[in-house]
A and B are shown apart, each in its own frame.
Chain A
């Protein structure tokens, strides 16, 4: 079992946390963007073609 994570980044915190923050932000944008895109067009496809669009 790994020891408890040490989140103190010391003098490099100004570089480490923005890197992790930006990564989280880009992943959030990619996930929300992909899900919204799929949901929006699924609804429109179903509206246009009836309920046969899966």
Chain B
């Protein structure tokens, strides 16, 4: 049996936790982003990429978040399917909305980086295509939830779709090693691949994205819980 975190098991405890955790994570995100941007724009132009290296500080964190958020969506969907827990379902729904935003950012900022460096906005290579598929999985998840009126059935169908989409995550990550690609391999996981003058702002921006996601995720889950409470109360009132 998979032990769920304590706050996931109890909506009241989650509400008490998220009330202080969401703003705290928001402050951490803003502070990291400000310092990261300062360092990023203070760094010298790269000897090969010139000024376009600054796109790395927003593109790489967005690309990492697109996969990380989908992993969160997958875990929450699994918990929602197995335990039928309302908080896990709220967490999955909230993650999908935010993951769509991060994946859109990864695709568009990557395109804006690729045009001056590769000479093209888009190529149908494995990395770019698998990230596009990831984006389509997010959209399909949201569309499926919106298209079924029965909330329980929608949650179950969307959770199964999210779990199927997990197959795409290792494909996205390993695509640059499995197939020929214009896209470079993983820089952040290769020690010494990145000069400290670029690594510091990149890691700070990644921390900013992570904290920002954490904050917005908690806020969205709270909103989703309130929505369900409001609708349950309205239903009770209508039946009375």
Is A38 within 8 A of B229, CB to CB? Answer: no
Task: Please report whether the interface of chain A is mostly helix, strand, loop or mixed according to DSSP.
Answer: helix
Cα–Cα, bound, A39→B220 (Å):
10
Total A-B contacts with CB atoms under 8 angstroms apart: 110
Is A12 within 8 A of B51, CB to CB? Answer: yes
Interface size on B, residues (CB 8 A): 41
Task: Please report whether the interface of chain B is mostly helix, strand, loop or mixed according to DSSP.
Answer: helix
Cα–Cα, bound, A44→B228 (Å):
10
Per the 8 Å Cβ criterion, residues 32-76 of B in contact with A are 37-42, 50-52, 54-55, 58-59, 62
- Chain B residues close to A by CB (< 8 Å): 15, 19, 37-42, 50-52, 54-55, 58-59, 62, 97-98, 101, 104-105, 108-109, 112-113, 115-116, 212, 216, 219-220, 222-224, 226-227, 229-230, 233-234, 237
Instruction: Point out the residues of chain B lying under 8 angstroms from A37, CB to CB.
Output: 219-220, 223-224, 227
Minimum distance in angstroms from A19 CB to a CB of chain B: 4
